[in-house]
Amino acid sequence: MSDTATATNNSEETQVTSAIDALLSENDPKKMSYEEFRGAQFDHGLAWVYFDEGNGGLGVNPVLQRQVEVRLRDAGASPMKPAMFFMHLAAPTIHTHGSEESKDRFLRPMFTGEERWCQLFSEPGAGSDFAGLATRAIEDGDSWIVNGQKVWNTMAHLGDWGMLVTRTDPDMPKHRGMTYFAVDMKSPGVDVQPLRQITGEAEFNEVFLTDVQIPDFNRIGDVGDGWRVSLTTLMNERNAIGAGSGGGPPKAGSGPVAILTKMWRDSPESKRTSVTRDRIMRLYVRSEAQRLTNIRAGQNRRKGNPGPEMSIAKLAFAELNQDLLTAAVDMMGMAGQVDYDYTFRRPEDLSVDGSENGVQHGFLRVRANSIEGGTSEIMRNILGEQVLGLPGEPRIDKDIPWIEVPRS
């Protein structure tokens, strides 16, 4: 490394350290509300250190965000609320593609949790083939009129704003006629309906959009550039799901595997068979490999060298969670098949593995891990084509106008 690069890095580290010192000298997270402290954190440029100054950042190397997380955690700051998960998707998208006005309007209340976000991408006829979406947005003066339907929208019932991708030019090939908006979920014509899951919960939703008026001010990126903008969101979604969200890397042995190890310790000697021990050992090793892969991928991403690790991590994460919770239910024996409450309910927080609500709930919830955020089949296609260089699947609709694509 050159002396100049070293000096620059040292200078940036000093800048971040000074900002943290200033934040904590003026604000005690133990005596402030969650929203108040996070607002102060944003104003000191410590929300996302690599963002521009004035937009919650300092314009420094993203690897220094880890220093912020550790210092604030040690000072007693509360971790990010799970229901704010979609901040990890919306914030970098708006920062990368949004206007200065959009950044000023959305980033701070998003970070403080005053405004929660959801994602409106998938449709009944456009899930894995997301670019085939049919929700239409028609320009009307300085606004857009939107009609269509979105589906599998996590926590949309709690969202104040939605990341919405629409079809604005049906005469263009499907990837080139899309436009990205921020939509107020309280707008007239937005109807959020629950989709009940096998857990009894309805954290997923379907959203109907009928003559919804969106001001052009809320457009993120250029007209027709929605596909490129969406890729930023999708990349960050896989990063967030594969690596977990906020608070730095988890400790070894934490997460769903901790349930198994505790069940083993609490089991009577008669149930501690060598077969069960071997099964838990193998799952523990996989969990640790996943944790270390996530740490390495996060470090590479913060250094500006993202690799295929997050697509791999997302794929492995889904399979590992399902295997962990299956093993836990097996250890419960017949008790794992009774006394579960399937009562319909609307969750107030987001959980990817669901294990904090009990083994049975976790076992049911993780069935979705191999579907949400990109199916495992899609992840394998991405790895095969983009990482291994294998031939892509035949596509006949890539270069023809969307309106001419055959549909069933």
DSSP string, 250-291: PPTT-THHHHHHHHHHHS-GGG--HHHHHHHHHHHHHHHHHH
Mean pLDDT of 146-153: 96
Mean pLDDT score of the chain: 88
Q: Are residue 220 and residue 236 in the same domain, yes or no? A: no
Report the C-alpha gap between 342 and 374 in whole angstroms.
27
Q: Are residue 131 and residue 27 in the same domain, yes or no? A: no
In a domain, 206, yes or no: yes
In a domain, 397, yes or no: no
Report the C-alpha gap between 57 and 68 in whole angstroms.
12
What is the CATH classification number for the domain harbouring 171? 2.40.110.10
Q: Are residue 217 and residue 71 in the same domain, yes or no? A: no
Strand-pair partners of 145: 138, 213
Q: Are residue 371 and residue 304 in the same domain, yes or no? A: yes
Q: Are residue 241 and residue 383 in the same domain, yes or no? A: yes
Q: Are residue 256 and residue 384 in the same domain, yes or no? A: yes
Report the C-alpha gap between 71 and 348 in whole angstroms.
28
Terminal alpha carbon distance of the chain = 58
Give the C-alpha distances (Å, rounded to integers) separating 387 from 165, 230, 309, 311. 27, 20, 10, 10
What is the CATH classification number for the domain harbouring 241? 1.20.140.10
pLDDT of residue 3 exceeding 50: no
Three-class secondary structure assignment of 83-126: HHCCHHHHHHHHHHHCCHHHHHHHHHHHHHCCCCEEEECCECCE
pLDDT at 26: 95
Are 53 and 45 in contact by the 8 Å Cβ rule? The answer is: yes
> Confidence band (pLDDT; 50, 70, 90) for 9?
confident
Report the C-alpha gap between 388 and 208 in whole angstroms.
39
- Calculate what percentage of the chain has a pLDDT beyond 70: 90
pLDDT at 116: 95
In a domain, 308, yes or no: yes
pLDDT of residue 5 exceeding 70: no
Q: pLDDT digits over 38-92, tens only?
A: 999 999 999 999 999 999 999 998 889 889 999 999 999 998 887 788 998 999 9
Q: Are residue 276 and residue 176 in the same domain, yes or no? A: no
Q: Are residue 201 and residue 235 in the same domain, yes or no? A: no
Query: Sign of the CA dihedral 44, 48, 53, 58?
Result: positive
Q: Which domain holds residue 147?
A: 117-224
pLDDT of residue 6 exceeding 60: no
Q: Are residue 260 and residue 371 in the same domain, yes or no? A: yes
In a domain, 66, yes or no: yes
Report the C-alpha gap between 47 and 68 in whole angstroms.
9
In a domain, 373, yes or no: yes
Number of domains observed in the structure of the chain: 3
In a domain, 126, yes or no: yes
